């Protein structure tokens, strides 16, 4: 059983010292930096884009970057992020007029392709795309804002998707994003998650980052190390 991974969502970080925040959370044990891109169109919020990542790259932030695009007209954004050397790009079925084409565009340049499913998004789209996916992101909140509470009915969805992945016998990571904290991460892991996108529970916590992440990793891996 592979170890579980922590993806630190910088949407909750202090943007006045973003580079330092990223370096600190990586030194504390985060495996991935999760980069949320919002356009105030697909979701009712505006966040960051390629220019911010370009600045980070130019200042020696060379870690693994997981880009989650919550926007419309995404193909140009995909190209912009690929040029910045990101590791994976995650898009939503509703955000592309031609979803298969957008997924193929990500893979064309050697980047890992992910599909994000909102709480109410049907799993039917996986029937036609799962063979092109490297990861599936389950949204456990409605996308757009940090600090939301995990929706309890999403446990069932995580379990369902894990069964689909196992049945297909594909090496696809199952990622969960939204409302994850020390109190629910073990149950999310047991349900089938491989990667945990965590923002507020890390960046808004009073404890040092290394202690928070250590505790989260212990909880997420506990069931599998018995």
Tell me which residues are annotated as active site. Answer: 36, 177
Alpha-carbon distance of 56 to 169, in angstroms, equals 37
pTM for the predicted model, two decimal places: 0.95
**Confidence check: pLDDT of 177 > 90:** yes
What pLDDT shows up at residue 226? Answer: 42
Report percent pLDDT > 70 for the chain: 97
- Of 6-10, 64-68, 94-98, least confident by mean pLDDT is 94-98
Alpha-carbon distance of 160 to 179, in angstroms, equals 20
Alpha-carbon distance of 104 to 113, in angstroms, equals 8
Distances (CA, A) of 52 to 20, 45, 47, 77: 14, 17, 10, 13
CB 39 within 8 A of CB 14: no
- Residue 3 confidence class, pLDDT cut points 50, 70, 90: confident
What pLDDT shows up at residue 147? Answer: 82
What mean pLDDT is reported for the chain?
94
Q: DSSP letter at 149?
A: P
- Of 65-69, 145-149, 221-225, least confident by mean pLDDT is 221-225
What pLDDT shows up at residue 146? Answer: 83
- Which three-class secondary structure state does DSSP give residue 171? coil
Angle at 33 between CA 111 and CA 92, to 5 degrees: 55
What pLDDT shows up at residue 223? Answer: 60
**Confidence check: pLDDT of 18 > 80:** yes
- Residue 1 confidence class, pLDDT cut points 50, 70, 90: low
Query: What are 43-95's pLDDT values in tens digits?
Result: 999 999 999 999 999 999 999 999 999 999 899 999 999 999 999 999 999 99
Query: What are 106-125's pLDDT values in tens digits?
Result: 999 999 999 999 999 999 99
Alpha-carbon distance of 66 to 26, in angstroms, equals 14
């Amino acid at each position: 059983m592979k170890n579980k991974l922590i993806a630190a969502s910088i949407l909750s970080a202090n943007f006045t010292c973003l580079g330092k925040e990223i370096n600190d959370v990586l030194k504390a044990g985060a495996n991935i930096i999760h980069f949320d891109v919002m356009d105030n169109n697909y979701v009712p919020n505006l966040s960051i884009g390629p220019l911010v990542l370009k600045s980070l790259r130019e200042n020696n932030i060379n870690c693994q970057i997981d880009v989650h695009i919550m926007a419309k007209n995404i193909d140009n954004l995909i190209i912009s992020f690929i040029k910045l050397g990101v590791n994976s790009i995650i898009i939503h079925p509703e955000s592309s007029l031609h979803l298969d084409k957008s997924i193929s565009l990500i893979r064309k340049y050697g980047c890992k392709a992910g599909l994000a499913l909102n709480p109410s998004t049907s799993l039917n789209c996986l029937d036609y795309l799962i063979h092109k996916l490297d990861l599936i992101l389950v949204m456990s909140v409605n996308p757009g804002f940090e600090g939301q509470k995990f929706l309890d009915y999403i446990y069932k969805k995580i379990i369902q998707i894990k069964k689909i992945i196992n049945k297909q016998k594909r090496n696809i990571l199952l990622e969960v994003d939204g409302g994850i904290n020390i109190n629910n991460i073990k149950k999310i892991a047991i349900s089938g998650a491989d990667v945990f996108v965590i923002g507020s529970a890390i960046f808004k916590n009073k404890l040092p980052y290394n202690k928070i992440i250590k505790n989260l990793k212990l909880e997420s891996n506990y069931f599998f190390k018995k």
